[in-house]
Amino acid sequence: MTDRAIPNLPARDVDATIAFYGGFGFVVAYRSDEWLILRRGDLQLEFFPAPDTDPASSSFMCTVRVADLDTLHAAIAASGIPQTTTGHPRLTTIERRPWGLRAAYLVDVDGTQLSLVEDAS
């Protein structure tokens, strides 16, 4: 197995989290009362119950590096996530960022920001 790190993110409502991420291809790999694992191909996100999370003030974030940013972005946009720069959930457009890579930002239903970054390798 390749070394890896998996983000652990809050879920105010596990069913809402499954529906949100399921809208663009994530499926449940594991679910219990204490933990949720979602996968989309090789991408994996893990969630813990956090019913008191305030999406408007959440500081949770993670980076998701993908080989094909355009396909992931298109799938998220097709699921109906608003493409805007405010509110949650939301999806920003893909842009070449000042640090040199193409990226977009997804803010989920719990206010967690996922930096969607095109892998340069």
What pLDDT is attached to residue 2? 66
- The per-residue pLDDT for range 5-58, each reduced to its tens digit, is 888 999 999 999 999 999 999 999 999 999 999 999 989 999 999 999 999 999
Neighbours of 21 (CB within 10 A): 26
Q: Which residues lie closer than 8 Å to 69 by C-beta, 6 or more apart?
A: 94, 102, 103, 104, 116, 117, 118
46: helix, strand or coil: strand
Residue 44 to residue 64: CA distance in whole angstroms:
9
Structure-token match 């699921």, residue found: 79
1 has a pLDDT exceeding 60: no
- Which CATH architecture group holds 8-51+59-118? Roll (3.10)
The whole-number pLDDT of residue 88 equals 92
> pLDDT of 65-90, one tens digit each?
999 999 999 999 999 999 998 989 99
77, 71 in Cβ contact below 8 A?
no
In the chain, domain spans: 8-51+59-118
**The pLDDT value given to residue 121:** 64
Continuous segment of H or E residues that includes residue 78:
helix 69-78
